[in-house]
Amino acid sequence: MAGFFLFLGDDMVEFALGLVFSTSGPYAALGQAARAGAELAIADLAAEGLAQITPVHRDPGGRPEAYEAATEEILRTGVSHVVGAITSWSRKDMIPVLERHGGLLWYPCPYEGFESNDHVVYMGAAPNHHMIPLVDRMLAHGVRRVYLLGSNYVWGWETLRLARERLGAAGVEIVGERHLPLGDTDCSRALAEIAATGADAVVNSLIGPSNTAFMRGLPRKGRPAVLSCNQTEADLDVLGPFAEGLIAAGSFFEALGSAGFVARGGAAAPNGRCSGFLATTYASVRVLAEAVKRAGTTAPKVVFEAACAAPHESVLGRLDLDPVTRHAALTPHIAQVREGRFALLSSAPGPIPADPYLIDLPPVPAQSAKTPSLRIVT
């Protein structure tokens, strides 16, 4: 399938690109950020004379059952590339359609790993980029009692399973675990359990309104450390002061971007912030356009090979794609919200190949030698 492809002179390619992002519904803030990144990349590519991309938008409204039809509508018209899906739930619903039509999804979000589909390019962080470094940081800081909280679908299940296994292997007590339905804002039981168990940290894999309700429900003073692999600048305005102190793992934070890109990204985003979702989607569209140009076609298999053939200079830094795992090598970063902005706490020295099946897990680090926290038992 190579519909809608034209070479415009020596330097410019023209093709249509599906953008399937929920810009309404329970996780609209993330979809809006990602779509803004795609639109900014499309505008930049046109302005630079590199590509003329016609976006074909669909908004599934955060309804899982709508993704399949939205993707089908786009691919049936001969478009072969789609950038989109925020949740793994939606990505998994899109895959059978992509397989039927021979399409390729450029997926720009962090996800839980354990997937390597021939119709997907995984541009976001894999677990060895997010949860593993995040857990290892917790262990290095002597965490003892951890509560796990996530949205009730595969992202929450798998990220928290990984945290539970790795923290448990280091002897950390998991004092509770709860999964909330997507969109549920009743966090009272989780909040009560966290208070009752005296957790010193919460691993938070909630998304959307559930996350907002939880972060707003936590007492601002004396709250346990809250750590997340999915929170970015896209979440900050809705959380306001309740985000203060939140620690997040990710492959991009505003502090890492060039001033120019962060300013333009912020101007393009509805919440005025240049988030990891925006930057990764921006990078995805650019890598795709460069690969289409190099390949001289939009045929997905050839484009993917071209994308893997050479590294890309991107807003995420140097970006290599692995032709076997189909994942981007990314630099893991950990940042903390301070006065409404993510301040970097640590970064890996450089890009790390994604390890979606965790075949090369680093050994569980020894706990710090801090005195164990003791509880008064009455």
Partner 1 sequence: MTYSFAGRQARVLHPSAEMRDRLVRRLASLGIRAEGRWPALDPQDTSADLLVIDIDRGESGQFPWAAGAAPMPVVGLVGSETPGRLQWAIDQGVDALLPTGAMANLFSALVYASARHAERTERQRTEAEASRRNGMRLDLIRAVIALMQAEGIGDAAALKRLRALAMVERLPLEDAAQRYLSDISALRGRA
**Nearest distance in Å: CB 26, partner 1:** 29
Q: Which stretch binds partner 1 (CB under 8 A): 1-9, 114-122, 131-139, 221-229?
A: 114-122
| CB closer to partner 1 out of 100 and 338 | 100
Cα diameter, the chain: 79
128 part of the interface to partner 1, by CB under 8 A: no
Query: Which among 264, 314, 262 is positioned nearest to 288, based on CA atoms?
Result: 314
**Nearest distance in Å: CB 361, partner 1:** 7
Please answer whether residues 234 and 29 qualify as being in contact, where contact means their C-beta atoms are separated by less than 8 angstroms. Answer: yes
30 part of the interface to partner 1, by CB under 8 A: no
363 part of the interface to partner 1, by CB under 8 A: no
**Nearest distance in Å: CB 117, partner 1:** 5
164 part of the interface to partner 1, by CB under 8 A: no
Distance CA 168, CA 165 (A): 5
Backbone dihedral region for residue 150 (phi beyond 0: left; psi -120 to 50: alpha; all else: beta): beta
**Nearest distance in Å: CB 85, partner 1:** 16
Q: Which stretch binds partner 1 (CB under 8 A): 174-182, 215-223, 306-314, 359-367?
A: 359-367
157 part of the interface to partner 1, by CB under 8 A: no
With a CB cutoff of 8 Å and minimum separation 6, the contacts of 165 are: none
**Nearest distance in Å: CB 99, partner 1:** 8
How far lies 248's CA from each of 18, 107, 138, in Å? 30, 20, 12
User: Per the structure block, which two tokens stand in for 21?
Assistant: 């992002």
Which of 8, 48, 54, 114 lies at the binding interface for partner 1 (CB under 8 A)? Answer: 114
H/E stretch holding 90 reads helix 88-101
Which of 116, 152, 185, 367 lies at the binding interface for partner 1 (CB under 8 A)? Answer: 116
| CB closer to partner 1 out of 19 and 160 | 160
Taking residue 15's Cβ as centre, other Cβ atoms within 10 Å add up to 23
Q: Could you tell me how many residues make up the chain? A: 378
Taking residue 57's Cβ as centre, other Cβ atoms within 10 Å add up to 16
| CB closer to partner 1 out of 165 and 320 | 165
Distance CA 220, CA 227 (A): 15
| CB closer to partner 1 out of 38 and 123 | 123
Distance CA 119, CA 105 (A): 6
Which of 14, 165, 173, 184 lies at the binding interface for partner 1 (CB under 8 A)? Answer: 165
102 part of the interface to partner 1, by CB under 8 A: no
309 part of the interface to partner 1, by CB under 8 A: no
Residues within the interface to partner 1 (CB under 8 A): 114-118, 161-162, 165, 324-325, 357-361
